[in-house]
Amino acid sequence: MLQKAEDTSPNYIGLVRFLIEPFLESPNSLSLDCEKNANERIWIRLAFGDEEKGRVFGRGGRNIQAIRTVIQAAAQAAGQSVYLDIYDESAEGKSRPESMSGARFGNRRGAPRRPSRPSKPEPRPRF
């Protein structure tokens, strides 16, 4: 008997585990949770050790952005939307979600700002 496409949903926990575990030295440190809302929104919560953060995120966040892209493609094929929250351990020992702002272009908080472009071009020196 065939199932309708609407009835099937990707195994998000298995997919995220498959994509994340190769980056982890200790796969046991990975903690996953998946919550499905009635309006086809999926929330995936992910946590792992602080020492693993660099490998999972990758240079400039490339690894985690690729993982988000794969998860979003699977959700789109199923007619759903998916959100990936990554939790890390702060200095106080509390879990907090990793900021989504700047995820695509890197986190620039604390980085010095470049000077703005002058509104009027400077005259060229004459020889």
What is the architecture, at CATH level 2, of domain 30-97? 2-Layer Sandwich (3.30)
pLDDT bin (cut points 50, 70, 90) of residue 27 is: confident
Structural element, H or E, at residue 66: helix 62-77
pLDDT at 127 over 60: yes
Phi/psi for 24 (5° steps) reads -95, 135
**Position 64, amino acid:** I
Neighbour-count burial for 15-42, b at 16+ CB within 10 Å, e otherwise: bbeebbeebbeeeeebeeebeeeeeeeb
Q: 3-state class of 76 per DSSP?
A: helix
pLDDT at 108 over 80: no
Section 20-47 average pLDDT: 90
- The residues spanned by each domain of the chain are 30-97
